[in-house]
Structures are given as C-alpha cells and as structure tokens.
Amino acid sequence: MDCDACNNLLLDYLYEELDEAGASAMRQHLQGCSACTEALDRLALGRRAARSLPVLDAPAPSAALLAAIHAEAPAPKLRLVTGGSGSVAAEAPEPPRGKVPRWLQRVGEVAMRRQVAMAAVFLLMIGFGLSYHQLQAPTRPLPTSDDPGPTVIPARPVPTPAAPVGAAQRQADERRPSARAANVERALDHRAPTPAPTATRGGSLGEAQSAAPPAPAASPTWARTTEAAPEDDSMHHGAPTTYRSQPPPPAQVPGSIATTERVSGNRDLDRGMPPLQVDSPAPVAQQPNVAAQGNGTQQWAAPQPQAVQQGVLGAEQGNRLGQRAQNQNTLAVAADAWRDLQQQGNTASERGQQDAAIEAWRRALAANPPAAERRAIALRLVTALNGEGRAAEASEVQAQHLSRTNAVVDLEGQVPSPSAAGTQVAHPSRPAPSRSMPVRRSRQMPSAMDSYSNMAH
Amino acid sequence: MSSERQKDVADEELLERFRSGSARAFEELMRRHQTPLYNFILRSVRHPQTAEEIHQDAWLRILQGARDFQRASKFTTWAYTVARNLCIDHARKAVLRRHPSLEQPSGDEDGPSLGEVLPDRGAAVDRAAIGNELQVRIAAAVDALPAEQREVFLMREYSNLQFKEIADIVGAPENTVKSRMRYALERLQQALAEYEDYARALG
C-alpha cells in the first residue's frame, strides 16, 4: 500500500469502515509512514474534538405523532392479514372499501352544497310555520266544544277594566241582562273575542273603555293569549251564574245591605272553596325575577314572553282543561267576589261615599283579585285613603299590594290575607292563571313587558 | 415482539413489522434514531425550536412514507434524506424571507460571517448545557463549517452513517463526501489546537 492509497482510506480506517484485511494493510503502512500517521493523528484529533460536543436528547414525540403512529399501524395490518397469500389477495378487499366512501362522498358533496342547505332551511321554515298554525287551530275549538268557559272570553273586557269605567259598564250590562248572554252567543260564533261585544255594548263609557282591547283582539295573538287563560275564562264563565242568581246590581241597590250580603256570601264561598291560586301567580307575572324564589309551582308559572307562552299552549291545554273541570264551580263563584266588591267600591266612590268605597275595595283586595285588577283596586284604594287623609293606611296598602317586593311576600305565603295565604298552600298545582296575567295586565297597564310582547308579535 | 428481541432486529425489519400493523416497531425505530436525527437537525438549523419542529415533521413524513418504503434501501438513508430535505427547505425559506445568509462574510472578504457574529441559540444551548470552554469553541467551529461539510461531519460523527450511505443521502460521490469530512475534521482539529494554545497560555 502506498501513501496515496493510504491517504484515501484514512477516514475509512479512522471510522472503522475497512474490513479486517484492509485495516491490517493500513496498520502495516502506517507503522512505516510518518506522514500518513501524522495525517491520521490530525483527523483523530479532530474527531476527539468532535466527541467533546454533547449529544442532546431528542424531544419526546408529540402526541399527534404518537397518535399518527397508532393510526397508521392498523391499516396495513389488515392488508397483511388478508394478503397472507399474496399482494393480489391483499388488494382485493380494498376496492370495496374505497368504493363505498366514494359513493358516500358524492352524496356528501351534493348534500354539502349551499343550495341544498338553503332549501333545507326554507323547508324547515315552512314546516315550522305550518305546525305553528296547526298548533293554534286546535286550541280554539277545544274549549268551545268541551267547555263553554272560553266562550265567555268576549265578556272579559267588561270586568277587566280598572276603575269607574268598568263599573259603569257592569251597570250597563246588568241593566240589560240579555247582554251577557248575547255576548256568549256571539262569542260562540266568533272565536276571536272582543270586537263584537264592544260594538253591541253601546254605552258611551263602555265603548270608550273597551276601545283599547279590540285592536289587539283583531290579531291572532290576542285571540291566542286570551285563550291561554282558560282558568280565567272559567272564572268568568262562573261569574254570570252569580249574577243571575243574585240579580241585584250593586249600582241599583245602594250601599250597605247589598254590600254586606254580597261580601258575606262571598266570604263563605271563600272559606269553603279550595284556595285560589289566582292571586299568587300574579306577582310572578309582574315580576319575572321573583318567580325563581317561589316554590315549584310558581316557578312553573313563571311568566314568559308571550311568544314562548303560545309555544307551550297546545301541550298544556289538555292539562288545564282537566284542572278547570275540577275547579270551575268553586273558583268561578269566588273569583267574582273581588269584582263585585270592586264595583261596590267604585260605585260608592262615585257617589262620594269614600269610606264605603275604601271598605269595599279593601274587601275586594282581600278576595284575591288577579294581579292586574288587584293593582288597579289598590291604586284606587290608595288614592281614596290619601284623599281621606289616611296616609298611613294608604302606604300600608301600597306596600302590600303595589310594591314590587310584595310579590316575594306573596310567594312566600306571608301575605296577611288568610285567603291569600291559604291559596298558596293548597293549590300548588294550578299555575295556569299566571299565564293570563300578563295579557290582562297589558290591557290596563302598558308597561315595558307589554311593549316587549307587542314587539314579539 | 419484545423490545429485547427488537434490539437485534434491523431497522428495515422493524419498518416491515410496522407495515404489518405493529406500532411498537415504529416506536422502536424512533427510539433508536431520534436522538442522532434530532442532533443532526439541530446542528443543521441551529435553532432548537425549529429543530424540534423539523424533527417531528420528519418522523411524521417517515411514518406516512413507510408504506411506500422499498425494503431494498436502507432505513437510515431514507430517514436522513427526509430530515436533510426538510432542513434544506427551511434554509431556502429563510433565504426567501430575505434573511441574509449566515455564511456570507460581512463587509470585506475576511470579516466574520453573520453566523459567527450572531449569538446563535444552538451554541447557547451548548453553553448552557456544558459551560466548557473547549466545547464552546468546538461547537462554534462546527457551526462555522460550510453546510456541505457540516452535514457530512454530523452524519458520520454523530449518526454513525457510513460514507457510502452519506454519499447516497447528499447525492455526491463518496470521495467528495470523504474530502468534505476531512476538511471538517481538520477544521475541528485546528479549533482544538487553538484551544490548547489558549489553555497553555493561561497556564
């Protein structure tokens, strides 16, 4: 071996890439060649220098890489298992595997097109709209065919009104006893409630008063929401029986006798009947936040935007019809107690008999009127008390019936009125009236909530 | 298929086992080669974070290419080819980003290159890890090597690839590879000699 050959193989020798024969030949040459030995020493020194460098540990493989390893591994395994006899057999099972996804892919591509998505949304909207209208449709005939309760809906504008107007109207109705019956009949014909009674009722006051409801009544929303309160309707339905059995109109029978009779009779009814739930949900309706603090029933009765209410109407209707059948009689009679008392108060007030009016309104409040009416009555009562200089009582009434926090008190069953307290306990399962409350209130006291519900429609 | 048995198995056989569905075979391949491969990448790109990304990417590509791997070829040849190509791609992207070349001398011809001037993080890693003057100098010398010399040196010295295999990887004749290796080793020997002079001067 000469120096050139040795020089060419120095690195192979240094890195031990030579076979044993080549290595021994190199060793022989190097022993007798100082130049080649010196060259090798320089390279060896360079290698020694390189070995002084640290070798850094590789970072751990990322989770994605490890996952990829395990994801990649099984697929070839399948191929091997099936392809033990040869690659042809291995290929065989794959085409069907590939074909199905390809077919599915095409379907998927079509399904993922924008037009398809738009069409689907369009169909959904149509379907939703249809079901929405179907939801409304059955709710109307149901009450009228099974139960005359809702048919009295048109009469609701009559008692509902807040103050003297309602009284005058009631008087007008009672002067013409057939008016209510006519209303009932009319309502049987026109499911949509209000406009007809308004037109026939005639009296200037009555017209002025009921001018408000017809506007919403024309819209289906109004019809629905009024029907949403069959409990109320049942009470209204029951109300005429009281009137018929006790014709003396408070307006015509002045003062004390009629008042005491009515009051005592209604109190008996109050005591004997299952406590009313009419009142308790009302504060809930007025104060949505409070609902969360109530018991389960009241939470259920928590007021919702009308749109939401309508959504659940169909589902709850049957339930409420059954409840109504149970409670109709007692409730209906008792439910009117406050109305008579309210009227008496109104009448007395108009006649300047403030004490009698105050007393009547107090009783009316004690008879669990619905929240809207309660507020109306309480407002008048407070006004009258203030007018009489009984500011302390006025503020008491105000705190009890008009303050917002009152709702909490009601919900917790701490209402001073025994009937109200009883109401809470005994009828936890009658949440329905609360549904009517926002509607009724909206006709009397426009509020933020009303404007919200108006916007919703 | 215990790891003890796998230690005796050739890389190519492990790759074949992985293709048969054994994830552990591939993990054994990684265990064998990830450290030299990572160090090769790290000293090529001289940036730990970039090196880590390229390293993971390289194994991912090896994983994805395992099915098409020809058993006749050597696994390490393929793996280092993948890693080297990734490093070259990275360097090209750096150039495209109009970064000045690290090896272009700044100012006059004899001035230090940018790579020598800039505090590079690869050297920083070494300094932090070792704190040894000799190692710092050697590391600087390795970093200062021309890329074609450095990659050959790294593959031969740290990855223990034979010159013929390195020639396959870099696509150059084996003699060219050897001469590059020789230059690299002589440069390192110079750095070592300079250090020894320096150490002797310190007394």
Answer whether A74 touches B (CB < 8 Å).
yes
A53-80 pLDDT, tens digit per residue, is 888 888 888 888 888 888 877 654 444 4
Mean pLDDT of chain B: 82
Quick one: average pLDDT of A360-389?
A: 82
pLDDT at B203: 67
Quick one: average pLDDT of B177-202?
A: 89
Answer whether B158 touches A (CB < 8 Å).
yes
Answer whether A62 touches B (CB < 8 Å).
yes
**CB pair distance less than 8 Å for B126 and A57:** no
B168-183 pLDDT, tens digit per residue, is 999 999 999 999 999 9
Alpha-carbon span A23 to A12, nearest angstrom: 9
Report chain A residues whose CB lies below 8 A from the CB of B141.
Answer: 49
**CB pair distance less than 8 Å for A65 and B126:** no
ipTM above 0.90, yes or no: no
A148-169 pLDDT, tens digit per residue, is 444 445 444 444 444 444 455 5
Radius of gyration of chain A (CA): 44
Counting residues of chain A whose pLDDT is more than 90, the rounded percentage is 7
Contacts with B18 (C-beta within 8 Å, 6 or more apart), sequence order: A72, A73, A76, B25, B26, B29, B66
Q: Of B182, B187, B197, which to mutate for an interface test with A (greatest number of A Cβ within 10 Å)? A: B182
Rounded to a whole number, what is the distance in Å from the CA of B109 to chain A's nearest CA? 26
**CA distances to A418, B58, B159 from A235, in Å:** 21, 81, 94
Rounded to a whole number, what is the distance in Å from the CA of A453 to chain B's nearest CA? 59
A301-312 pLDDT, tens digit per residue, is 444 455 445 545
pLDDT at A446: 46
Which of B18, B55, B60 has its CB closest to that of A59? B55
pLDDT at A205: 45
CA nearest neighbour of B83 among B117, B114, B60:
B60
pLDDT at A114: 75
Residue B194 CB neighbours (<10 A): 12
Q: pTM of the full predicted structure?
A: 0.41
Better pLDDT: A108 or B141: B141
Answer whether A448 touches B (CB < 8 Å).
no
A249-268 pLDDT, tens digit per residue, is 444 444 444 443 444 444 44
Which of A17, A52, A76 has its CB closest to that of B20? A76
pLDDT at A102: 61
Quick one: average pLDDT of A188-210?
A: 43
